[in-house]
Amino acid sequence: QVQLVESGGGLVQAGGSRTLSCAASGRTFSDIAMGWFRQAPGREREFVASISSLGYNPSYTDSVKGRFTISSEYAKNTLYLQMNNLEHEDTAVYFCAARTTNLGRYSFTDEGEYPTWGQGTQVTVSS
């Protein structure tokens, strides 16, 4: 059973940067594909970024391409989301998600493919 704990949310000014972390435990980190999703007030949860269990094929939703970077640090069993040039529209609760897989190079982008979720961390971008 994978457990996830997110951190790093907070208040940031538009144009600023923030890094979210998601610590995973319970399974070998290289067996876990992971992703970031977000939910803004009054909106459905949406895909933000994902990465394969071996760190391949990072994928991004169009609105964050060039601004956000997803990465994995295997020594710390931690997933990161580096967010630069933040916009008011990035305000949301950010969730990390995980699934075990033997497809080491496959990046999952559909939230239905992730059975395990963190508690979420709020990011508020002031304009």
**pLDDT of 127 above 90:** no
Express each pLDDT in 24-35 by its tens digit: 999 999 999 999
Express each pLDDT in 93-107 by its tens digit: 999 999 999 999 999
Q: Measure CA 69 to chain center.
A: 9
Cβ–Cβ under 8 Å, residues 83 and 90: yes
Strands 68-73 and 46-51 come out as: unpaired
Of 63, 61, 66, 39, which Cα lies nearest the Cα of 50?
61
Residue 118 belongs to what H/E stretch?
A: none
